[in-house]
Amino acid sequence: MSGVEIIGLGHFAPSRVVPNSEIENRLGLQSGWIKRRTGIEARRYAADDEALSDLAVAAGDMALKRAGFRRDDVALLLLATSTPDHLLPPSAPLVAHRLRLASAGGIDMAGACAGFIYALTLADSFVRTHGQAVLVIAANILSRRINPAERASSVLFADAAGAVLLAPSERDDAGVIGAHLAAAGAHYDLIKIPGGGSRKPFGADFDPAEALMAMPDGQSVYTKAVAMMATAATTALGKARVDVSDVNHFIPHQANARLMATVAHQIGVRPDVMRSTVDQFGNSSAATIPFTMSMAAEKTPNARGDIILMTAAGAGLSGGGAVFRS
């Protein structure tokens, strides 16, 4: 077997619904302001007793149960997250343990909004090389990293998890058939959490506000993210030798509705193949693509041979695009 197929999808969002009105009232914004500019109507926030691993386990468990796959046969868990349970140890080993993946390795991947694209690409290579299944989970609890006084991040970010179980396939042409990964470190500081790392460690004089997200120039983030996502998607299509008209499912990072529509227009994707959850679930960074893939498949299942185009960009700047044949 030299191909790769998706045999299970899963998703999870916390039960607490946060409508726009709650944020608009806090920030003194006019009613309807957030919906007009972002396309977001509501988002989900984790409960006080929920940690990142709880969301990840729920999504991963759904993917495994839907696949009916033996958990002992999963060889690797890749967890794409920017909000682990702790700075140390990594959360993936805990998630693997709670999912009863007794034979699996586990590692966190901090790729911000592009984390799932990176994890999917590496997982596909592992499955092809070793002939064993890989569970990819992307999850974030961004509600605890939002600066409540900063409009740019407050109106967008949310909490969710999505999971994809990859396994060997007898079809050589199945799996990631084209990918392009990108980084633009010159724009490293456009989205950041200033404190808590080795550059500015915790200490007696640490300002708690520096442990929150900062995005002071939202317009620059928008412009550069659109360019990176469109270029990555187009390049991935070229590597796959697939025309954009052949795409059956377009699942961009759910940054906001306006950005997604702009990227779709620039690469020429038909509006009817766009898959989106941003209106009710907001932007959960790396989780948005697998979360949306899982939810969309409940209404529009992926048929054998379908072309799925994914693209993302986020903090770092890091980004990428991938073309997956079901």
* pLDDT per residue as tens digits for the range 161-176: 999 999 999 999 999 9
**What is the CB neighbour count within 10 angstroms for residue 251?**
27
Q: Are residues 163 and 180 in the same domain?
A: no
Average pLDDT over residues 285-305: 96
The neighbour count for residue 221, using CB atoms within 10 Å, is 21
Q: What CATH number is associated with residue 261?
A: 3.40.47.10
Average pLDDT score over residue span 29-37: 96
What is the arithmetic mean of pLDDT over 50-54? 98
Residues 45 and 81 in one domain: yes
**Could you tell me which residues come within 8 angstroms of residue 113 by beta carbon, excluding any fewer than 6 positions away?**
253, 255, 283, 285, 286, 288, 312, 313, 314, 315, 318, 319
Q: How confident is the model at residue 129 (pLDDT cuts 50, 70, 90)?
A: very high
Judged against a pLDDT cut of 80, whether residue 9 lies above it is answered with: yes
Residues 165 and 179 in one domain: no
Domain end position, chosen among 139, 169, 199: 169
Q: Using the predicted structure, report yes or no on whether residue 291 has a pLDDT greater than 90.
A: yes
Last residue of a domain, one of 169, 198, 218: 169
Residue 4 banded pLDDT, cuts 50, 70, 90: very high
* Domain of residue 295, residue span: 175-325
Annotated catalytic residues are 113, 253, 283
Residue among 19, 285, 23 at smallest CA distance from 147: 23
- Section 249-260 average pLDDT: 97
For residue 270, which amino acid is it? R
Looking at the structure, tell me whether residues 279 and 183 fall in a common domain.
Answer: yes
As given in the structure block, the two tokens for residue 35 are: 């919906």
The residue ranges of DSSP E strands in 148-301, in sequence order, are 159-169, 175-183, 249-252
Same domain? 32 vs 156: yes
* Per-residue confidence (pLDDT) for residue 22, from 0 to 100: 96
Residue 215 shares a structural domain with residue 300: yes
Give yes or no for residue 195 having a pLDDT over 70. yes
Averaged pLDDT, 248-271: 97
Tell whether the model's pLDDT for residue 116 goes beyond 70.
yes
Query: How high does pLDDT run on average in the chain?
Result: 96
Same domain, 127 and 50: yes
The verdict on 201 and 129 lying in the same domain is no
Domain count, the chain: 2
pLDDT at position 1: 66
Residue 130 has pLDDT above 70, yes or no: yes
Residues 260 and 152 in one domain: no
Q: SS3 of 76, please? A: strand
Q: What percent of the chain has pLDDT over 90?
A: 88
If pLDDT is split at 50, 70 and 90, which confidence band does 217 have? confident
Q: How confident is the model at residue 216 (pLDDT cuts 50, 70, 90)?
A: confident
Residue where a domain terminates, one of 134, 169, 204: 169
CA distances from 212 to 154, 209, 284 (A): 11, 5, 15
Indicate whether 204 pLDDT > 90. Answer: no
Residues 74 and 107 in one domain: yes
The answer to whether residues 202 and 304 belong to one domain is yes
- In this predicted structure, the answer to whether residue 269 has a pLDDT above a threshold of 70 is yes
Nearest to 247 by CA among 323, 150, 312, 133: 323
At 149, the pLDDT band (50, 70, 90 cuts) reads confident
The whole-number average pLDDT for the span 43-59 is: 98
pLDDT of residue 209: 87
Whether 140 and 229 share a structural domain: no
Find the mean pLDDT for residues 67-87.
97
